[in-house]
Amino acid sequence: MKNNLILASASPRRTDLLKQVHIIPDKIIAAEIDETPLKGEAPRDLAMRLAAAKAEAVHKKNPVSFILAADTVVACGRRILPKAENEKEARECLQLLSGRRHHVLGGIALITPHGKLLQKLSDTVVQFKTLTREEIETYIISKEWQGKAGGYAIQGLASAFIKSIRGSYSNVVGLSVYDTVKLLGGAGYSASAKN
């Protein structure tokens, strides 16, 4: 019995994280959805809603496959930080995160070939050191922040900004490997059953 797995994400980081544990999606289909937060929506609710919406969008055209989707939301208190698209946004994110703790909320959604939706939320607490203006500007020049939730990528230059981390490191990169493997296993997906 072939286990078909579709990753509903174009993120190369998520693909790489899955490869580390020998999970190779059969297809990668980026879900095109509106990621705008709803009025008054809590950060964790946003992460879960978007992950489910991505999975459901891809499931419609692929009803007999496992559909795996994820969304990462960076929150400082109740404030949701954007996926930085320009230098101004990235600078504002870094200035806000400087010297503070924030939450990286990873929503994971899996739809089984029977149409059942399973979900998990991974919450990682990250403590930034106090950043100097020079550190912020050097990071802005690097362009590593582009398209990243909260305006930074933990696996690059910003690793020098991280004072402490509580929870899943891979969640901050883009996908909690532990939670994903557990979710897939519990749903009956087996990478070894693919051949």
List the catalytic residues: 71
DSSP state of 131: P
Angle at 75 between CA 179 and CA 84, to 5 degrees: 100
Q: Which helix (H) or strand (E) holds 162?
A: strand 162-166
CB 27 within 8 Å of CB 58: no
Summary count for the chain: helices (H), strands (E):
6, 7
Q: Which two tokens stand for residue 125?
A: 């607490």
CB-based contacts of 130: which residues, under 8 Å, 6+ apart?
Answer: 98, 99
Handedness of CA 165, 105, 62, 112 (dihedral sign): positive
